[in-house]
Structure 1
């Protein structure tokens, strides 16, 4: 692992239970000082390894992984390659551990190529490319070592007294460490008169019994080799030692994903099975004493179970017979799943729309288990909780700007709710609304409009005209029309929503602040600055009082005020509000969040207007990185930054740098918003101004004419943008007419 000048890839191979993961853990702990660049551990069994790597890079390495480069979208594999290429190498060697790899081909495709990486793979498979990978085949123990391990677990006198039987016992267990550990722990708890001969006989009897078990256990047997079948018999010894309540807890363990889990979750699920605190504590002790669960030193309160143990526990759950908890066998199995699912749903409910960076990190470990419920045990989720599981997953990814991943869960939510609850159920309508929201975030406004109109019709039929939900949908529809540049259609929707919310809620309600903010944003866009400012100030006052001085919603309002003052040319006032918004969102959301990127974009606009071009350029380029990571390549927010950067280069006189950006912004706006959107007019006017400055009058003229026509129709004859464009066109025509004909 310490070879220099090359990436080193080492694979520990061997059967389940031989100690591959334990060896990797021991190596990582003992050689931590050799890897100043950090140690990254991924559970690679049946997981989306590419997504895990990208998410790790975003959360912990603070890398802004782009979704496209050079105008071309990047697939997951290319994004992973980008992560490795941009991983900080100045700190020194990095150890990357991929534990329990089950798909070698896909794993190899994702490995780094930079020579500051050292890769350690554990796998049961033995088909690694020896020209690339150094393979360490971790075979079962040598007979003498197996005997030594058994002796260390039991008692030397006891082993020496029946030395030949002890050797037979080791051989029967296939000299496999996990099996020896299970039997050794079992023996250590028995009185001295329990002979090794008696244990060996019982193991053989148990193996014969296993061979005559139900179909689910037979299927498990078929997947195991001879030594692993020996472990199954040894596991039965441990299982028989557990008291009935501990077995309930053990079966719950089998439902978790093959990832670390918090014992608190087990505790909560066990209580839902009517187990007492005392019984759960006993289960904790027994499972640990029998080596069926491992506590993780580095993560307080977290534990894990071996892959084979998880398989055996899943088999126990599958072969569950009726008990006092439930009369029917299937009912009892469902009880376990329902208890597990209920705990995960409660975690999903805690994921808020404005979750902080710290909260996202804290809930990270629960996400694989939420996904396990969504993919494998959705039938165990109660009807009234069904939507919360998917919404929690969606919010988790939205808060990181991973809108495409959120879209996947919202689509699955809609499908699942429709099948189980039907199209008339309120949660189906809510699922439509959530999907519309993610389409809005993705810039898919037409799809969002279609869904919101559908939601509005369904809500009215279910709730009537006078209901808070109707006001919410009117507000959402107004936002979509505003985004589409349909300002005349957005305003009456905002006003109606505001009127309803004032009737239905008290004056200080957050929902009223939302609509006031949207209305102010509309007036700002229409150039009605004197109408927008008092609304923004009122929203700021309300949100500070309701949410506190340093909340992301407060930052959003500060940001909007900054833009308003920027549009009016009050740059010092704008900068003050913008810097405050940046500070709040940087602290609460982190520098990877799209909302932080919006703050930084607006600050760059102000710097550019103040001719502080160096500061503006740094900010714009940083915003581009963030947005390329979190947004589709044709999203309007990304286009906004491309446009603004091109405009700044134009102001600086850097025409060759400005032109491709101005053209790209115009093309993206047309493709996304259509030919008649006000943003398209803005891009047309900007490109026309660039051509005008270069003396390319014949190219500038038709662009000014198109922009003026759009603004006159959409914003009115007296809007500041319309007036500026009209003056630009008139000056251009005067300049053209003054040019002598040839």
Structure 2
């Protein structure tokens, strides 16, 4: 095997057990595929499994890199170099093609008895390996892939990000318990920002270990400022080759591999998705943007399938047609959007959609209305917090008004107040002290105070609004 495997391996015991059961519980050739997003630890799981169960494969373990390689040629080379066998080029006078040479390799495998584990790491196209898979029942095939549902005949083991507890355990193992305990409130936030992704945790942990004076709080602040371009998670290939890490690339480069496989329409859809808040969104919201995305509804749904297959969006079990994006993938897609010629167009369209939604929120929403729109509220908050520069002046106050109404109508005054306050401050700063929307903002905030019986605070605001 080309990798030693990491020393700190946590949170995957159930997956290892399940994988072993599937590979052993089959009379024919067993093919199991470990599938997951880039950086989730598929290769590491395969390494750990192969090393842990080496004794269960007395026929040997064959590790092959399936990405950007000629698998048939790799297999022939493996047999020639590891078994010292001369692979025949002819059968009598008839030349053997590469596929026939591979079949000969499997038939002549040394030793001649015992179960064999064949690992195909990072499969990107099933066609490249279908014809070279062994057929004898002594072989067990383990694939790692970023593609969901590689084949219905394969047993798929989906690999997700670590649990918050396992992520914290991994970070602790990497930087030391004393350092994590000393930053007990910050360590979970750092794990959360990294989306509990093993690759991100390993790279950040390695970076922190190299600088004992860098606190976890400083690391988090640095990541929040530099995003995916921060050197802590943007290691280049050369840097990683100088370590025993299984990782061959940084987080951004790992995601780039999946990005390059997307169709142009899918890339546009993905860039637009990055504007949504990091929570559940409904696909029907994207289906309505055919004009903006310059494609048909059928193409948008084809894009959904492509994103889903590559684990770039994840379905939400408890919500039909609901999806989520991993926070680091969202960061990656936002960077792609910024570099796009359509960035301003997409941002303005998304903000305008938020305004149209906000205008539909009545001053006293019913419980039925609240229930029907609650999933859209975090995305309206995203507009208010990060996209006010994409709003027209006439629309500037609406995201804040809508949010204020949504919470005030439920009696959640403490949640409504910041939105009405921000609305007033922003309209004064960007529209001028005497703009009509300033008067509206004063009146809204005064009305909120009056609803709570805070008359002394409401009265001067009403008077200012009347003056305008």
Greater RCO, 1 or 2 (C-alpha within 8 Å, sep 6+)? 2
Bigger-Rg structure (1/2): 1
Determine if the TM-score, normalized by the shorter chain, exceeds 0.5. no
More helix per residue: 1 or 2? 1
Q: TM-score, normalised by structure 1?
A: 0.29
Q: TM-score, normalised by structure 2?
A: 0.45
